[in-house]
A and B are shown apart, each in its own frame.
Chain A
Amino acid sequence: MAEHVILSPEDIRRSLSRIAHEIVENNPTLNDLVLVGMRTRGVPLATRLAQRIAEFEGRGVPVGALDIGLYRDDISYLDLKPELKPTEIPTDIAGKRVVLVDDVLFTGRSIRAALDALIDFGRPQHIQLAVLVDRGHRELPIRADYVGKNIPTARQEDVQVFLEETDGRDAVVVLSTES
């Protein structure tokens, strides 16, 4: 497995800053904004975005964690252990503007599951999507509103995001099977 670093810690920091500003730009009334990170790595990303927003707007934005394990349609295709963590969303999302946050946007199936989950939770006014990396190969008509970086990849490549909070370092790498 060859590891090719696409985003350095500095790149990630700048992307998140930009996304944070874009979010505020598109959602001027921060009152009804909620950031919901998708487990696992979407959650620290959402947390960092909320921190950024707090720094330059002077007020906090609620952050939630969403587990889509109960909504996936693709468990049988993946060699996944069926681990589940509870979903924790600290406010009522009915009528709110929700920004879903995830690390990598790929086929779009995870986002579809997340939409189902959010709507079961309550009826948000608006749902937007922020991702650190969009690697293409969509299988459903889903697009991100905020993208850190577009990285065209081959299907068999693997894009892996590492974060300080979960992996001890910040990096986005592409893993390919060729050496």
Chain B
Amino acid sequence: MVDQSTRGKTAEEVRPPESVELPSWERRHVLDLDDFSRPEVEQVIETADAMKEVLGREIRRVPTLRGTIVATLFYETSTRTRSSFELAAKALGADVVTVAAAASSVQKGESLVDSARTLQAIGANILVMRHRQSGAPYLVAGHVDMSVVNAGDGWHAHPTQALLDAYTIQHHLGDLRGKKVVIVGDILHSRVARSNIWGLTTMGAQAVLCGPPTLLPWGLRPGYRGNEDRALPPVEVDTNFDRAIEGADVVMALRLQLERQQAGLLPSLREYVQLYQVNEERLTRAKPNVLVMHPGPINEGLEISPEVAHGARSVIEEQVTNGVAVRMALLYLLAKGR
């Protein structure tokens, strides 16, 4: 694959970009975006640019992480995130060990910490893990020497998703400062929403959370009991999607799990669609070049209408491609930066 961006340019136009003073990478784990500084997020984005170029070649492989073993330990089934990480590791020349928890010794009652230690004992340097329980990667990180990358823990965090979301937005809209990003859906149970709150506010964007009251994290609102002396992140919360979407630069729809209706949190999926679906009519209230995003997999016709999901403003597929580049960037920085 030929890099199209410099084709036809004269020698003068292909200039080396100004060298930016970036911090050296100190981080041992990537657990959440809550303690990433703006320069750190920028460093990941810059590095991902270089990785995206590698993915654009015919031979999508470099020898940088040769000799490094990346283990993936997924307690929740996930085709897209896991294969994204595996491809990222392989593109960097690393060896990959995949553990699907259902089929492993976990079934025999081995504890999480023991499973992680076993992977360390066979030589893994980096552990990528996804777990149904919030806090699981923090527990593991406290008991191993490996670097731990959180590929999603319960409701709590999904830092690589938020990074690829920031990368995607910046790619289309430039600097995130002041951009209005509306996250709509089941915010309460969403680790994607939580990590994006951190990522977006760190990068200066204006984050708005929108959804039915039973699916919003009221613990984030100032008036909530016990929050009297809390420093809350600067996000707005709104239950009215038609109002929230006014002037939005980005609309990020979250996956609605069908069990929420059974758990009594929603009267019906039909009502959810009526009030909160991202469709063409609603998008007319947003900015003309609004981006439509979704972490996937999509319930087509539920949180997003099919026309919008496959329409011109959707960057959903690009998010997936960017995901591999961003994950390559993180693996590179974790392996080489310290």
Direct A/B contact, Cβ within 8 angstroms: yes
Measured CB to CB, the residues of A under 8 A from B are 39-40, 43-44, 46-47, 50-51, 54, 60-61, 63-65, 67, 69-72, 75-76, 81-92, 116-117, 120-122, 165-166
Shortest C-beta distance, B135 to chain A (Å), equals: 30
Shortest C-beta distance, A74 to chain B (Å), equals: 11
Contact B16–A116 (Cβ < 8 Å): no
| 6 intermolecular pairs with C-beta atoms under 8 Å apart | A47-B14, A54-B11, A67-B50, A88-B53, A92-B2, A122-B58
Determine the chain A residues whose CB is within 8 A of the CB of B17 once the complex forms. 85
B53 (CB) vs chain A CBs: closest residue: A86
Determine the chain A residues whose CB is within 8 A of the CB of B53 once the complex forms. 86-88
Shortest C-beta distance, B21 to chain A (Å), equals: 9
Determine the chain A residues whose CB is within 8 A of the CB of B333 once the complex forms. 82
- Interface membership of B57, Cβ < 8 A: yes
Shortest C-beta distance, A38 to chain B (Å), equals: 10
Contact A88–B50 (Cβ < 8 Å): no
Q: Please report the C-alpha to C-alpha distance between residue A37 and residue B262 in the assembled complex, in whole angstroms.
A: 62
In addition to A75-B336, A82-B24, A88-B53, 9 A-B residue pairs with Cβ atoms within 8 Å of each other are A50-B11, A60-B10, A70-B62, A76-B336, A82-B47, A84-B47, A86-B52, A120-B59, A122-B58
Determine the chain A residues whose CB is within 8 A of the CB of B63 once the complex forms. 70-71, 116
Q: Please report the C-alpha to C-alpha distance between residue A88 and residue B336 in the assembled complex, in whole angstroms.
A: 23
Contact A121–B57 (Cβ < 8 Å): yes
B29-65: which have CB < 8 Å to A? 46-47, 49-54, 57-59, 61-64
A94 (CB) vs chain B CBs: closest residue: B58
Contact A65–B16 (Cβ < 8 Å): yes
- Interface membership of B22, Cβ < 8 A: yes
- Interface membership of B19, Cβ < 8 A: yes
Contact B11–A60 (Cβ < 8 Å): yes
Contact B62–A85 (Cβ < 8 Å): no
A41 (CB) vs chain B CBs: closest residue: B16
B329 (CB) vs chain A CBs: closest residue: A84
Contact A88–B14 (Cβ < 8 Å): yes
- Interface membership of B6, Cβ < 8 A: yes
- Interface membership of B15, Cβ < 8 A: yes
Contact B14–A71 (Cβ < 8 Å): no
